[in-house]
Structure 1
């Protein structure tokens, strides 16, 4: 037994065989095939959560703007939030958002608002992957994907 081991150590055949290398590459490919979809799913989930947080920040900015005596008109349709929306003069809600008006992370799109003055409910939404505007705040729509 010891002679065989000494012979193996002293032999000139060093390194891996082709079959060993193919097996290693196959194992790595299988691990990548399992890991990549999970990583992409988590990235997508983090974008959705960031959009929900941004929607809440926008709603807070609009509420602060209204608390200073400004009036937010009722809307029945979603209105795109731009720098001067919901006002036509001045800086609008941008002054209340520290880093400016954010874009959605999921689609790099815009946020929208809808205000029901009767019930005093402010909704913030964004376009989902099918192009439909869905609510992100206060009750996030599960169809935002």
Structure 2
């Protein structure tokens, strides 16, 4: 018996050598990723801003609690000149140093989530409550929505 040779090329071997993605397939995948990024990206960034505001609110409450604790020990809030640093380092006045039982914070006074220092204001009236606040993401007084100031008295 005589064997005949198949003259058709073996397409299986050439096809396996060229397996992979075509340029068109890659462009379609990139387009899908771009569409998803434009839809999901703004929502994620909005959540990030919202979580920073929540963090600032929690830190303002924590600083206010530390100030109230220190006020019980010293009999007064720190002056605006002493500021929040009195929460972590003792006063220079020896009479006050004896009743200072701090530090009232672990470590140092934190920065707000936007890397700005928290601000401190004494009440205008005797017996009033000290205010700790941050200007928020825009670092400017006032603002609305996510740019609103974050305060311990509001």
Give the TM-score, by structure 2 length.
Answer: 0.65
Match of 2:153 in 1: 138
> Is residue 51 of structure 1 aligned with residue 56 of structure 2?
yes
1:33, CA displacement in angstroms?
Answer: 1.6
Match of 1:103 in 2: 111
1:15, CA displacement in angstroms?
Answer: 2.7
Higher Cα Rg: structure 1 or 2?
2
Give the structure with the higher percent strand.
1
Match of 2:26 in 1: 21
Contact 1:114 1:122 in 2 (8 A): yes
Match of 2:85 in 1: 83
State the SS of the aligned residue for 1:16.
Answer: coil
Q: Distance in 1 between matches of 2:101 and 2:117?
A: 15
1:93–1:122: structure 2 CA closer, same or farther, 3 Å change rule? farther
* RMSD of Structure 2 on Structure 1 (CA): 3.2
> Is residue 60 of structure 1 aligned with residue 65 of structure 2?
yes
Query: Which segments of structure 1 move beyond 4 Å, counting only runs of 4 or more?
Result: 7-11
1:36–1:93: structure 2 CA closer, same or farther, 3 Å change rule? farther
Give the TM-score, by structure 1 length.
Answer: 0.68
